[in-house]
Structures are given as structure tokens and as C-alpha cells.
A and B are shown apart, each in its own frame.
Chain A
Amino acid sequence: MNKFGRRTQWWLHLPMAIVALLFLAPLLWMLSTAFKSPEDIIAGLVALRWWPNPITLENFTGVLNKVEEFPVWQWMGNSVFISLAATALVLTVDSLAAFAYSRLHWRGRDRLFSILVATMLVPGQVLLIPSYLLIRALGLFDTYGALILPAGAGAFGVFLLRQFFLTIPVELEEAARLDGCGPLGVFRHVILPLSRPALATLGIFTFMGTWNAFEGPLIFTDSLSMRTLPIGITIFQGRYNTEYGPMMAAAALAAIPIIIAFLLFQKQIIKGISLTGLAGR
């Protein structure tokens, strides 16, 4: 049992609840707006009224019925597909690279690794234009390749996994070698199964990062059918007016998968955040 009594715990929970509410408020407002009629959105804003009156699904039907104008299902499919593909790509490439950087011995390894780590200091925005030019030159513009492949070139995952692999005792690798494993056998039978927490962390961060990515998909794609959900939502924001209802409905749709993912992997995500020392990414 906790060394504090129930009463003390209650007092500790109060500030936590307040902070949680502060973070939840925008999300709840988004949900509530998605169910409001256009008049109610304005009136509710003035009256600071949370509960929709009347509750309507017209925003959702509006979004989902105008598929020519707003191909929400297509965007959703794109988002799911590229997030899964990018996650698979990152896990494969980064774990193999991290294995080479942590467990194999080759000339120039550590020097190359420092250069790799140094690239983490370059802000992503700086790389947008060069990436764009590269993608155009490779003929990948406005394709899934443009949305997926750049993720595979990140140094963060290699760094994270390498540091984790280094904590796995060398004896385990030696034991596998004595039992007849080659380097790939060691990788498959020892390193990968023992690195599940790190791999899950990287997988979740990559999935969330790709799902929420905005700048890359905005610049590397052009056609309506290649857009992802976060870009698609902005289309509701016209030059002169913003259709808040449909926009919030689309945003709610976009948030649902990631919230489900969070509920499923809650423990893992929290572990992951403490593992990487990053408060989200």
C-alpha cells in the first residue's frame, strides 16, 4: 500500500486532475463542436456552453457525404497506410543499423555514428527543401514513397535502439554464438526479442509522428487523393470563412484511431516516454 493515507492521496489527485482537465479541454471542445449546429457553434462560443444543443450529426454526414470534395475515407486510408508502412520501415532499417553500430565491429564505426548523431541536431524544417528537391529528382513527388521513405532516414531511432542494444549483456550474444548463431542469428534470437520495449517505443512514436505529420505531407504531395488527414482537415479552412463544424468532425475522426492506439498501448507509451527521456516527440 501507499505510505500516504487516503486523505493525502486525495489532495495529491486534485492538482493532477486540474492539469489533466487543462489538457483535455481543447479535445473536449473539439468533440462538442463536432456535434453542434452552425448557429450553436457561434452561440455556444459566446455563452461558453459545452454541451451541444441540439446534438446533431450533420457535421459528420456533411464530411462523409461530400467525398468528391472531401475524400475523408481516402485521407484516413492514406494516414493509416503511411503510418503503418513508415513504422515498419523505421523498425526494420533502424534496428539493423543499430545492431551494426552496437554489436558488429568495423572500421570507422564510431566516427560514422557520431556524424549520424550530429544530424539529429539539424531541425527538420531545414531539411524540407532539400528533401523536396530529392523527392522530385527521384520521381517520387505526390506518391506514397514521398510520404513513407523520408521516415527511414531518421537518426533518432538508430540512436535510441543502439543505446538500448548496448545495455544487453555481451554474454547473451556470446552464449548464442557458442550455440552456433551467426550475427543475424544473434540479432533475431537475442537482440530483437530482448529489445521489445525499445522497439515498441520507437514503433509507437513513429506511428504517432507519421500520423500527425504536417509539413512533409503538405509539401511532398499535391493531389487531393494523396493528402493525409491532418492536411485534409485544413481544407475546411477557406480563405474567407472556416467551416468549424465539419472541420471539428474531421478532426474528431482523425483523433479517434490515435486515441484508440493510446488506450491500447498506454502502459507502453508511458514507459517509452520515460525510456527515451523525451516528453513526447
Chain B
Amino acid sequence: MQISVRGVSKNFGAFRALDNVSLDIPQGQLVALLGPSGSGKTTLLRIIAGLEAPDEGRIFYGDQDVTNCSTRDRGIGFVFQHYALFGHMTIFDNIAFGLRVRKWKNEQIRPRVLELLRLIQLEGMEKRFPSQLSGGQRQRVALARALAAQPQVMLLDEPFGALDAKVRADLRRWIRSLHDEIHMTSVFVTHDQEEAFEVADFVVVMNRGKIEQMGTPDEVFARPASAFVTDFLGRVNVFHGRVQNGKAQIGELEVSVEAEHGSVEGDTFTAYIRPHEVEIDREPHGPESMQAAVSRVNRTGSTVKVALFAQDGQLPIDVELPHEREATLNLRAGDIVWVYPRQVRVFAAPTASVESSS
């Protein structure tokens, strides 16, 4: 079932949570709503679910306008960040709850619940209570409960948010493979770009109640459409400056400005360089490189992280190098080297402030 969001706005008092948002969620896709807190992603999910009513705009499931349709008639499964399992019911009763409310017969309920328990790999646990399960198990039960009544749409609100890193990684992989199995139109909310990229077919980046960019993870990461998206998606070096002679000056570095970003002579700009898109060498590479001093080399992890300072310690730069490359350079703190970026993204200032980036 395709979901269409048309011109939806929502205010909470003076706070504009959603500002004229339109979006199409294609049939059978797993879509991530990604953004910092306060970006409106959860509000959008709750409006799609019918847990909130939009002030303006309409929601369509396929061709059907469901804007005024109550949440129970929408045929959706919903997973909450903190599981929202009923503590006074066993796992079996939790999963069966919606089926009982919907007046399924007992002889239909039992096989369905057992089938779901198999799917979430918790067979034999049906007599336990939620408090006897781990966080990851509880979230899987919440998922089974959401799936029980065979919904057409699955909505997940920060489904991994309350879990620790290891369990989160497992559950992410599991949800992805589950989706590949059942191909239900699914939307999940997250503030973690890595999670969105790893799990989703399609990513919608939101900020301040608007959609900043949508696309596949590859598209969004390779071609961020705005300064906000660039800054939000992963670690990045940020530089401010002014455009001169059609070039952006970053310290001693001159970078040609791509016309598509609409920078004008004399404008202030913000330039973004990802750490893995910077090269380090012992020799200069013309005007596209600048001198910097190595302050720290961290060789733990899958890449070597090098912290440098250019312009007499005024300009900090983070660089990530493959271990093999770093081995040939053999960097030490205090070394003077040359850095040159392979890719610089320049946007006209002012830029949106970013509440969280990693």
C-alpha cells in the first residue's frame, strides 16, 4: 500500500512541528524519517498513524483519504520506542490482544500467535511476562504484536532507541531481513543516520518541520542537497569564509565553487569536507593543498583518524585515512604535512544550526 502525505502542517501551540510537508512512500519500501529531535519526524509518523490529527493537509493510503479515519480503522501496525507492552499480560496475551479486540476466534488466534513467535524467534516464551524479557526481546514482541492483525502498513517510532549498541545492531539486521521477507510498506523514525542508511531503502531527512532531502541512502550521502544534510550525515569538517574571484578561500586553500550551489562573489559561505575525503601528503599539491601540523594519530578502528591544525593552530581538521596509506606516511604528532581535499561541498551562508551530529 502506498502512503501519500499532502501538504501536512501541524502546530503545537506556537511551535510549528510540521510545515506543509508532502511525501510519497512507495508500496513495499522501508523508509526512514531521519532528523534531529524537534525536526517533526515523530509528529509526521504519528499523523500517518492517526495518533495525531494534522492542522492542514491530507493523508492517503493508496487512493483512500484516511485523514479523518480513526487509527483503529487504518489497518496499521505500530511499534513504540519503549515497547508499550502490557506488563500485566503474558507474551501470548500481548500478541493476541489486538486479535481478541478484533473478535478473532480462539482457534484462529493460537496458530497466528505461535506463527509470530516463531517469526520473532521467541518460541516457548509465550507464558512469560514482558518484565522477564530483555530489551531486544521485548522490542521483538512489540513487533509481533504490531504484525498480528496483518496490517498493510508498519510504522516504527525510534524502534532501536532504547536498546544498547550490540542489541541494536542485531535488531537492525533482523528488521531488514524481516522486511525483505514480508515486503510490507514500512516507515521508521530515527535520529541516527547510520541506522537509517543501514536499514532503509529510502531516506527522508527532516529539519525544523520540513523535508530537507529524500532519496536512497547512496544519493543522500553522495549528494547532500543542503548544508544541514551535509552536516547532519556523519562527521564533517566545517569551514567558514568568503567567495573571492569565484573561489572559496579556506585558509591557504583555494577551492572552486560549483555554480549549482548559487554562491555569489563576496558572499559568505560554509564549506564541508568529510574526513575520509581529505588526502595527506609530505609534498605540496599546488594551490589546492595547505600546510598543517599533525596533533594526534588514532590507529584504533577500521581507519586511522588524524587530527591536524592548519594556519598556526587556528584551523582544526579531522582526516580519516586507510591503514595502508597511513603506514606509508608513518605520521607522528608534530609532523608538518600537506592536506588536500578530494571533495569540498560549499553552501551559501547562513546555514541552519544543527542540534546533533556525530
Residue in A closest to B74 when the chains form the complex, CB atoms: A178
B contact residues around A178 at 8 Å (CB): 49, 51, 71-72, 76-78, 98, 146
A189: which of B72, B84, B97 is its contact (CB, 8 Å)? B97
Given A180-B102, A181-B101, A185-B101, residue A172 in contact with residue B78 (CB < 8 A): no
Residue in B closest to A181 when the chains form the complex, CB atoms: B101
The answer to whether B112 has its CB under 8 Å from any CB of chain A is: no
The answer to whether A190 has its CB under 8 Å from any CB of chain B is: yes
A contact residues around B208 at 8 Å (CB): none
| A175 and B84 contacting across the interface, CB-CB below 8 Å | yes
The answer to whether A171 has its CB under 8 Å from any CB of chain B is: yes
Given A190-B86, A193-B88, residue A175 in contact with residue B101 (CB < 8 A): no
The answer to whether A194 has its CB under 8 Å from any CB of chain B is: yes
Min CB gap A265→B, angstroms: 19
The answer to whether B284 has its CB under 8 Å from any CB of chain A is: no
B82: which of A169, A176, A185, A189 is its contact (CB, 8 Å)? A169
**Count the A residues whose beta carbon is within 8 Å of the partner chain — how many?**
17
The answer to whether A177 has its CB under 8 Å from any CB of chain B is: yes
Residue in B closest to A194 when the chains form the complex, CB atoms: B88
The answer to whether B304 has its CB under 8 Å from any CB of chain A is: no
The answer to whether A222 has its CB under 8 Å from any CB of chain B is: no
B contact residues around A169 at 8 Å (CB): 82, 84
B contact residues around A174 at 8 Å (CB): 51, 71, 78, 80, 84
**Count the B residues whose beta carbon is within 8 Å of the partner chain — how many?**
21
CA A176 to CA B80, docked complex, whole Å? 12
Task: Map CB proximity to B onto A163-195 as digits: 1 under 8 Å, 0 otherwise.
Answer: 000000101101111111100010001100110
Please classify the interface of chain A as helix (H, G, I), strand (E, B), loop, or mixed, using the class held by over half of its residues.
helix
B contact residues around A181 at 8 Å (CB): 72, 101
CA A189 to CA B87, docked complex, whole Å? 11
B contact residues around A177 at 8 Å (CB): 51, 71-72
Most buried by B among A171, A172, A176, A178: A178
Residue in A closest to B78 when the chains form the complex, CB atoms: A178
CA A194 to CA B86, docked complex, whole Å? 8
Min CB gap A184→B, angstroms: 12
A contact residues around B102 at 8 Å (CB): 179-180
Min CB gap A199→B, angstroms: 13
Given A190-B86, A194-B88, residue A179 in contact with residue B80 (CB < 8 A): no
A contact residues around B82 at 8 Å (CB): 169, 171
CA A172 to CA B82, docked complex, whole Å? 10
| A179 and B72 contacting across the interface, CB-CB below 8 Å | yes
B contact residues around A194 at 8 Å (CB): 86-88
CA A178 to CA B51, docked complex, whole Å? 8
A contact residues around B51 at 8 Å (CB): 174, 177-178
| A180 and B72 contacting across the interface, CB-CB below 8 Å | yes
Min CB gap A175→B, angstroms: 4
A contact residues around B143 at 8 Å (CB): none
| A176 and B97 contacting across the interface, CB-CB below 8 Å | yes
Within 8 A of A (CB), among B203-261: none
A contact residues around B77 at 8 Å (CB): 178
| B86 and A172 contacting across the interface, CB-CB below 8 Å | yes
| A179 and B98 contacting across the interface, CB-CB below 8 Å | yes
The answer to whether B149 has its CB under 8 Å from any CB of chain A is: yes
| B80 and A171 contacting across the interface, CB-CB below 8 Å | yes
CA A190 to CA B98, docked complex, whole Å? 12
Task: Map CB proximity to A onto B49-90 as digits: 1 under 8 Å, 0 otherwise.
Answer: 101000000000000000000011000111010101011110
Sampled A-B contacts (15; CB under 8 Å): A169-B82, A171-B80, A171-B84, A175-B84, A176-B86, A176-B101, A177-B72, A178-B49, A179-B72, A179-B149, A180-B72, A180-B102, A189-B97, A193-B89, A196-B88
Q: Can you name 20 extra interface pairs (CB under 8 A) apart from A174-B71, A179-B98, A189-B97? A: A169-B82, A169-B84, A171-B84, A174-B80, A175-B86, A175-B145, A176-B86, A178-B51, A178-B72, A178-B78, A178-B98, A179-B101, A179-B102, A179-B149, A180-B101, A180-B102, A181-B72, A181-B101, A190-B86, A193-B88
Which B residues are closer than 8 A to A by beta carbons?
A: 49, 51, 71-72, 76-78, 80, 82, 84, 86-89, 97-98, 101-102, 145-146, 149
Q: Identify the 4 closest CB pairs spanning chains A and B, nearest first.
A: A179-B98, A171-B84, A180-B101, A175-B84
